[in-house]
Amino acid sequence: MSVPPDVATDHGTAPPDLLLTNRVHLAVRYPDVLRDRAAVVSTPGHAAYGSFMSTEEIRRRFELEPARVAAVRDWLTSSGLTVHQSDWRSLDISGTVSQFDEAFGVSLHHYEFAFRPPRHLLLSTTDLTIPAGLADVVLGVGSVAYEYQPSAAGRAAAVGATAELPAGLGGTWFPVRVAADSDVPCSRYWGEKPATELPTANGRTVPWEPCGYTPTQLRRFHGLDDPRLTGAGQVVAVITPSSDTLEDVNTWSAKVGTPPLRPGQLRRIPTFDGSPPLPPNGGMVENLLDVEAVHGMAPDADIISIGGSTRAGGSLLDVMAYAIDHTDATIVSMSLSVDVPPKMRQAYDQVAQQGALQGVGFYVSSGDGGSDPAGNFLNTLATNSWFTGVGGTSVAIGPDGARLWATGWGDAAIPLNADGATWQDLPGDASFGAGGGGGQKIGIPQPWYQRGVVPDRLAKGTDGRRYRVGADVAMDADPITGLRVGGKALGADTNPDPSTWTYREHKYGGTSLSAPLFAGIQALAQQVCGKPIGFANPALYQRAGGPALRDVVKHTLPDGTPPTAAAHRPFNQNGELKLFSLLGRMPYEGTEPATPDTTPGYDEVTGVGTPTGGYPWSYGRR
């Protein structure tokens, strides 16, 4: 890689005797067989549908031959690296910078990034190289970027590899500091409190935003309030970059009307490999949000909270492998965003395919509106054809919990003018906005389950080929209509000192919310099914257009204008009043690429739609 000089200062080659550690990811034996078998066991109507294999059976059949592993080991040790096998898919390596450079044909340099405080990284100036004879065996290396702390004495320490850590949250989880007990105006349900003290919009008084929906409201909204639907007997894992104590889940449950956790229902694994947990940070909020979202939708399901590794070379891939190898979870929620190098995508595919073959499904955030250089708004993880990408909706729930309407999540925020008497004009797509991620991923062929459902206008590239498109399905993600979350860890948003935290409640949104909400609904479906669903996409796309899923279309008021709500938001200044227009698409500056829009049928914002009350029962045995 090449780091532009205006981004960082290159201080030259890294100290040659600096010790590094990393992980080399190996291919499986018979990769085509693994892929094809994972597809058929996941596709309803196929004779092998649901014929899952155990972890042990998969390892016996697909573990790489010892001779090929030995060849990889010989290559690495020939450069002086120390190697030992950590699991059947990977090798751990350690050695000096010079040994690493020799083995992979690179030169690690010390770069200083002008952040506050400055950040020092060791980065390779070129791509890693693998011997030609091993190219089909070695899928990638856990990281090629190391945190670096030069000491005053001139010696240095590499304190951790960062490029393949769970680097960010898949949705930004958009914290909104309002709740039912807040002094900021808000409504318990859509439209409860009209903002009569504010200017009208489109000729009518707008409501104050919801304070944060409860799980009871969301279950009723989707028609999932049947008391038989509890997720009993199911196990859901949530993977987050940082781990909270989760001691406040029952406090929150009592306040929002969700049954408390029974003893042993929630298991907490701060880091799966025993590495030191991250210090208090915003990832704890994600952890709390995910667990409460799953518990709220499936109150009887067991939950395993798994934190990411902090060791050098650790990656999300390792946590995924741990979940399928060492836990009994069959549903895995990952509200994360990781920059996966092209070759490493095959490693992610193969772990997800193993999950599919043993009846485990992975559910990821579709992203929150950020685009890549190609104009794709889909979170990198959600571009993987073996993951279920969960997009975002905006939902209006009435006073009795009934569904009023839903639309795709895509908001525009309009500030109040200085005179306090009028709203600023909405300048087209130049207003601030946020919304659910989606789009086409060039280079990843259209998966079999999307054929005939995703229209060619979305799937076809300029080369005439059809590619992977996301999102796949959708749940509430709009921070205007988000979930009420409670716990002391919410203090990590702004304060790193846990001793000062007290229990509080905020509203949260983003596709970081929609993914665990849908994971909870999958627990309800598996309860009805009586067995794991596994990789869900083939079953989801087969249900498109049927009663189990509701198509999400753009919602407008009778005069054709979008629904709006007033809210206090500190986007530009603390507590600034904003008028939010729920457009069903993401407004951006005119220089940005076109954004996904909510349309009838499959669309990139909401996929095949949202689950109805009939969705879990559609998995009942016939």
Q: What's the CA gap between 475 and 519, in Å, rounded? A: 10
200 belongs to a structural domain: yes
What pLDDT, on the 0 to 100 scale, is given for residue 298? 98
The residue among 104, 135, 163 that closes a domain is 163
Q: Does 293 share its domain with 426? A: yes
- Quick one: 191 and 149 in the same domain? no
Is the domain of 343 the same as that of 319?
A: yes
Can you give the pLDDT at residue 169? 40
Do 131 and 183 fall into the same domain? no
- Judge whether 549 and 527 are in contact, CB under 8 Å: no
Q: 472 and 329: one domain?
A: yes
Last residue of some domain: 123, 140, 163? 163
Total count of domains within the chain: 2
Residues 210, 146 within the same domain = no
In this structure, the answer to whether residues 83 and 197 fall within a common structural domain is: no
Report the alpha-carbon distance of residue 174 to residue 171 in Å, rounded: 8
In a domain, 22, yes or no: yes
Residue 342 lies in a domain: yes
DSSP lists the bridge partners of residue 252 as none
The two three-digit tokens of residue 443, written as one number = 């280079």
Give the orientation angle of helix 344-357 with respect to helix 55-62, to 10 degrees: 130
Please check whether residue 539 is in contact with residue 620, taking contact to mean a CB–CB distance below 8 angstroms.
no
Q: Are strands 576-582 and 410-415 parallel, antiparallel or unpaired?
A: antiparallel
Q: Taking the CB of residue 83, how many other CB atoms lie within 10 A of it?
A: 17
Q: Are residues 181 and 328 in the same domain?
A: yes
Q: Do 158 and 239 share a structural domain?
A: no
Domain identity same for 206 and 116: no
Secondary structure of residue 432 in the 3-state scheme: strand
Q: How far apart are CA 364 and CA 539, in angstroms?
A: 17
* Distance, CA of 96 to CA of 100 (rounded, Å): 6
Cα distances from 374 to residues 335, 429, 439, 592, in angstroms, run: 23, 19, 10, 11
442 within some domain: yes
Q: Check whether residue 185 and residue 113 sit in a common domain.
A: no
| Co-location of 472 and 539 in the same domain | yes
pLDDT for the residue 116:
65
Q: What was the pLDDT predicted at 338?
A: 81
User: For residue 175, what is the domain's CATH number?
Assistant: 3.40.50.200
Structural domain contains residue 39: no
Q: Do the domain assignments include residue 38? A: no
pLDDT value, residue 386: 98
pLDDT under 50: residue ranges of the chain = 152-173, 427-430, 571-575, 622
**Domain ranges, residue 102:** 8-27+64-163
Q: Which of these three, 114, 143, 163, is where a domain ends?
A: 163
- For residue 622, being part of any structural domain is answered with no
Query: What is the reported pLDDT for 180?
Result: 55
The predicted pLDDT at position 67 comes to 96
Say how far apart CA 482 and CA 492 lie, in whole Å: 19
Q: Is residue 53 part of a domain?
A: no
